[in-house]
Structure 1
Amino acid sequence: MSTLRVTAEVLTVHDHPNADALELAQVGLYRAVVAKGVYRTGDTAVYIPEQSVLPGALIEELGLTGRLAGGDGNRVRAVRLRGELSQGLVCRPDALAGVDLARAAAEGTDFAELLGITKWVPPVPPTMSGEVERAPELLPWTDIENIQRYPDIFVPGEPVVLTEKLHGSACLLTYTADGDRVRVSSKGFGARSLALREDPRNLYWRAVRAHGVAEAAARLCERLGARRVGIFGEVYGAGVQDLTYGADGRRATLGYAAFDVAAELDGTVRWLDAAELLAGELPLAPVLFSGPYDIARVTECASGRETVSGRELHLREGVVIRPAVERYSAVTGGRAIAKAVSPAYLTRKGGTEYE
């Protein structure tokens, strides 16, 4: 899940093709449906992204009572309005009436705390939870930003690799050579440097044992001469999320696919190519494209049917974009990595979003 930032943005305004009273305000590559005539291209307004949870007073001020998602009707999610995908909210809250939004946009000011906006945290089912313990040696996963919000992460023509983004739950495993120790965690617990104690009922430990992830990490650690190795994978199947890929997370047929590797080499943690290092060792997230970066190709690959099962059982969540050679990004302030999500996935009915 990407980070939450509520920022002022310079808008590009487009006509709505199916509604005379509506327009489309563009932020990055996102578009949000707005009332016609409120904004013009070049104006600055606040952008509230998807998965934001709004306080009641702001919901009432924006006229969104009863129109947002979630049991409390306070969560922003993607919707189609008169046939056009609307992602996030564009507004000028009263609380920022005296703020120079153009300057705030230039400085990247985050208004989330001031406006009382928080990030939605999905509930954690019992099978994805358990007893935890401190694990400072755990190698944490990186939050992936959406390419639509940050379209300048990659340069057109730059060699990239697109892998299918699976809708499951991220499993973090760190193997430490000193003491031959294995730590297993989820994305949520891992972000707090907490590991799950081994439990045969726990989803992540079941996947690790069923697919031999710890053994693969130990072999890789020895091959690389590393002090620590982290293998990051997606656990999926029925009972995990609403998209199953033909697997069953409640039985021995639970699915697992590795998508990233980190290793501590000579005191430095480096991100490495999972496909190159783990081919033949573990199931891998499918590679959908390898070649020059082009946003049209990314958008095309993000949609369609899943390829994990080999049977196109349901829609695809999206893709993860990586450079062919791992590098730093000034846009993210860290790894050059991003995701693109299918509109059909965003607007599907009855979807689950457990971490």
Structure 2
Amino acid sequence: MRKLASIQVIKKIEAIEGADRIEKATVLGWHVVVKKGLYKEGDLVVYLEIDSVLPKDLAERAGFTDKYLKTRRFKGIYSQGMCLPISELPDWLQKKGVTEGQDVSTELGITKYETDIRNDEQWWKKHRNKEVPNKWYMKFRIGRWLWKKFIYKPVSGPFPTNLVPKTDETRVQVLQDILDKYEGFTCQFTEKLDGSSITFWLDKKGKLHVCSRNREIFDKEDFMFKTASKLADKLIKTNIYQGEILGPNIQGNKYGLKDYEIRIYQCYVPEEKRYFTPHELSYNCWKDGLKQAPVLGEFKLTNNIDELVDMAIGMSVLDTRGKDTQREGIVIRPVVYVDGLHDKRFVGGRLSFKVINPKFLVKYNL
């Protein structure tokens, strides 16, 4: 689970060439531009990650005017996040005391900004299920039963986490301990695509199920359901496919697609409670005629976060994209299945993480 606001230590302070009023602080694996002289190495601070939405009073005290925290570039330095003094914490929490790594998102009222509207619960509330009609027969138990049995058609329902974990990847900047442990492992890296998360599968009876990141979709006219239904005859029953749906009106359609398409990035086997390895996924997508998220190559994992960020910088390799379309980043997974990492940073306990391209974030004002 992502800690949007947490207690962290300033690991390093570095001067920025040509800058008199600002300097670069390193927190975890993030670089943050801060006011010169405000902090020193070893200081405890409140660190806010990018995508954080600040409550109005805290934003005013911090002099923050944007809707949410974005990646910015100052004097050639990418700044990601914000450092605040411990004094911004509620008095009761300061008196109680805090420790490095402690999550204080709730105490500060920090929430996450969703760039994909289908991940936002407010969107689903606006597109909620059909309201109960104000009809005479609804006064009777048999009338309500008949309405629910034969007329009621819900648009969506909860995501079935009892079958498959939701799609999510942790950013590399908070995984220094993992990089140290698995340094030298052979890993595959794929392009992270900027679309909308989709999960879909055929159950044992051959019924198609389709989900966004947070909801199961029952409306067969929904564009996600209709797109997934075109692939139904290629799916292995009970295997659960997860990917990115791209196309018109999705994240600005950066890839220039004229119609919707799904790029699969993982497949979950519920009976075995495991994911396909990268090579298994590539083989099965090729065999079954399914499109996979672009595979960029394999390498020996380094424990240097800055080197991995440099790897993430580059153009998308999708054929339909424009010449200046930066890729969102990369997703890294060992070619040999590694699981058992049940520390809330890894979905399903599997070793897998993302590295976001800072040029992409700056270009698209994210």
TM range (shorter): 0.7 to 0.9
- The structural deviation recorded for 1:82 is 3.1
Question: Comparing both structures, which one devotes a greater share of its residues to helix?
Answer: 2
> Is the alpha carbon distance of 1:43 and 1:232 closer, same or farther for their aligned partners in structure 2, counting shifts above 3 Å?
same
Residue of structure 1 equivalent to 2:140: none
Q: 1:259 aligns with which of 265, 268, 276?
A: 265
Q: TM-score, normalised by structure 2?
A: 0.79
Asked if residue 54 in structure 1 is aligned to residue 67 in structure 2, the reply is: no
Distance 1:146 1:203 in 2: 29
User: Mapping of 1:1-355 within 5 angstroms?
Assistant: 3-11=2-10, 12-64=12-64, 66=65, 68=66, 70=67, 75-92=68-85, 93-96=87-90, 99=94, 104-105=99-100, 108-122=101-115, 124=117, 131-134=155-158, 136=160, 138-154=163-179, 155-177=182-204, 179-189=205-215, 195-200=216-221, 202-210=222-230, 212=231, 214-217=232-235, 220-221=236-237, 228-248=238-258, 253-265=259-271, 268-273=272-277, 274-281=281-288, 282-294=290-302, 295=304, 298-309=308-319, 313=323, 314-328=325-339, 329=341, 332=345, 334-349=349-364
Distance 2:262 2:95 in 1: 48
- The structural deviation recorded for 1:233 is 1.3
Distance 1:28 1:327 in 2: 24
- The structural deviation recorded for 1:311 is 6.1
- The structural deviation recorded for 1:168 is 0.6
Structure exhibiting the larger radius of gyration computed from Cα positions: 2
Q: Which segments of 5 or more consecutive residues in structure 2 lack a partner in the other structure? A: 129-154
The CA deviation string for residues 148-196 of structure 1, in whole angstroms up to 9 with x for no partner, is: 222333322111110000011111113222x32221010022xxxxx11
* Structure 2 counterpart of 1:322, one-letter code: R
Distance 2:188 2:5 in 1: 30
Q: Give the alignment's Cα RMSD to 1 decimal.
A: 2.7
The CA deviation string for residues 59-108 of structure 1, in whole angstroms up to 9 with x for no partner, is: 122122x3x2x3xxxx1111112332110111114335663899510xx3
CA contact (8 A) 1:162 1:290 kept: yes
* Structure 1 counterpart of 2:75, one-letter code: R
- The structural deviation recorded for 1:199 is 2.3
CA contact (8 A) 2:256 2:320 kept: no
Q: Which segments of 5 or more consecutive residues in structure 1 lack a partner in the other structure? A: 190-194, 222-227
> Is the alpha carbon distance of 1:257 and 1:129 closer, same or farther for their aligned partners in structure 2, counting shifts above 3 Å?
farther
